[in-house]
């Protein structure tokens, strides 16, 4: 099992509850007409959350909160913690209580669990692909609106790290900032100086560059971090040599699993990958009602 990450780390219980409440309101705004028409409100049941493929589990506590928000009397036993390496047939949780409540919570609980486990699993693939190299795998702000906190949590569960949580977390001077300021006659040195002058807090200043020459200019301007955006491997190697340790270096843009180790070997400090959150495939997980024997695949 990966080192466990507390689901509360970086955000509050209130924030989780708001996300869960919104998801349930979306699904239950008109009730559950199928369950109401077919299942007695007195019927009891036992549900098992069953893993269908290999991966990293994330979001089990969030799923538990879904069940408890639907029905606080449901008994939810977590059998596998976030960060667990899971395989087909593993049972992550057992839910006992009113069967109609379990059915009403099922889809939303699984949506969170499958999505977050998919992100954790994808992040872990990148971390494993760069194992042994001194580089950190990071996410981006390319997240699902409203789910950023949970998605970035899942990246951490998979062994990755978080880039900025929001626009207030650090200064990142991107291509459009540069274009607007270049049009007014400012060069990279001027732009970094302006950023330092106009920031009341001591924030790290990162500059996005597209060529080794721009990387050199950013390092001479004393940027704290330099982002190499969509550079070729040769250009990355050249930029790393030109920066020569004067700043931390981040590689970003179009980095795939089959390429990530080659990027890491150029000597960059960080690799940021938007696909960890915007393109991760959900992990196959199901909930089955019945006895433990009948629920097992």
Which listed residue (52, 107, 189, 210) is catalytic?
107
Angstrom distance (rounded) from CA 121 to CA 74? 29
The 8-class DSSP code of residue 274 comes to T
What torsion do the CA atoms of 274, 275, 278, 280 make, to the nearest 10 degrees? -150
Helices (H) and strands (E) in the chain, counts: 12, 12
Angstrom distance (rounded) from CA 124 to CA 119? 9
Which listed residue (32, 214, 229, 250) is catalytic?
229
Mark whether 229 is an active-site residue: yes
Mark whether 139 is an active-site residue: no
- Which tokens sit at 279? 């393109």
Which listed residue (174, 194, 204, 259) is catalytic?
174
Mark whether 142 is an active-site residue: yes
Query: What is the per-residue burial (b if ≥16 Cβ within 10 Å, else e) of 124-161?
Result: bbbbebbeeeebbbbbbbbbeeebbbbbbbbbbbbbbe
Mark whether 96 is an active-site residue: no
Angstrom distance (rounded) from CA 266 to CA 232? 10
- Which tokens sit at 228? 């190499």
Angstrom distance (rounded) from CA 208 to CA 239? 12
Sheet holding 270-272, edge to edge: 136-138, 270-272, 248-252, 225-229, 205-209, 171-173
Which listed residue (61, 82, 208, 214) is catalytic?
208
Mark whether 104 is an active-site residue: no
Which listed residue (69, 142, 246, 261) is catalytic?
142
Cα–Cα nearest to 49, from 109, 82, 93, 103: 93
HSE-CB at 277 with a 13 A cutoff on CA atoms is: 29
Catalytic site positions: 107, 142, 174, 208, 229
């Amino acid at each position: 099992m990966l080192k466990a990450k507390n689901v509360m780390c970086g955000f509050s219980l209130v924030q989780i509850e708001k996300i869960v409440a919104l998801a349930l309101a979306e699904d239950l705004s008109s009730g559950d007409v199928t369950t109401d028409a077919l299942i007695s409100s007195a019927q009891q049941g036992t549900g098992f959350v069953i893993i269908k493929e290999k991966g990293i589990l994330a979001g089990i506590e969030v799923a538990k909160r879904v069940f408890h928000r639907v029905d606080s009397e449901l008994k939810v036993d977590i059998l596998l913690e976030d960060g667990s390496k899971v395989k087909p047939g593993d049972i992550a949780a057992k839910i006992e209580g009113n069967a109609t409540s379990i059915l009403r919570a099922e889809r939303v609980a699984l949506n969170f669990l499958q999505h977050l486990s998919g992100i954790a699993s994808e992040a872990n693939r990148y971390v494993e692909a760069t194992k042994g190299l001194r580089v950190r795998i990071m996410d981006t702000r390319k997240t699902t609106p409203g789910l950023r906190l949970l998605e970035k949590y899942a990246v951490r569960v998979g062994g990755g790290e978080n880039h900025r949580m929001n626009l207030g977390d650090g200064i990142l001077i991107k291509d459009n900032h540069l274009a607007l300021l270049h049009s007014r006659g400012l060069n990279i040195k001027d732009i970094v100086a302006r950023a330092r002058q106009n920031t009341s807090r001591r924030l790290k200043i990162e500059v996005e560059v597209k060529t080794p020459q721009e990387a050199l200019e950013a390092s001479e301007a004393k940027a704290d971090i330099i982002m190499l955006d969509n550079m070729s491997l040769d250009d990355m190697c050249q930029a790393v040599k030109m920066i020569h340790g004067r700043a931390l270096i981040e590689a970003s843009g179009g980095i795939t699993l089959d390429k990530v180790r080659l990027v890491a070997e150029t000597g960059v400090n960080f690799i940021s990958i938007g696909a960890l959150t915007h393109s991760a495939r959900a992990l196959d997980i199901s909930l089955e009602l019945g006895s433990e024997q009948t629920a097992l695949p």
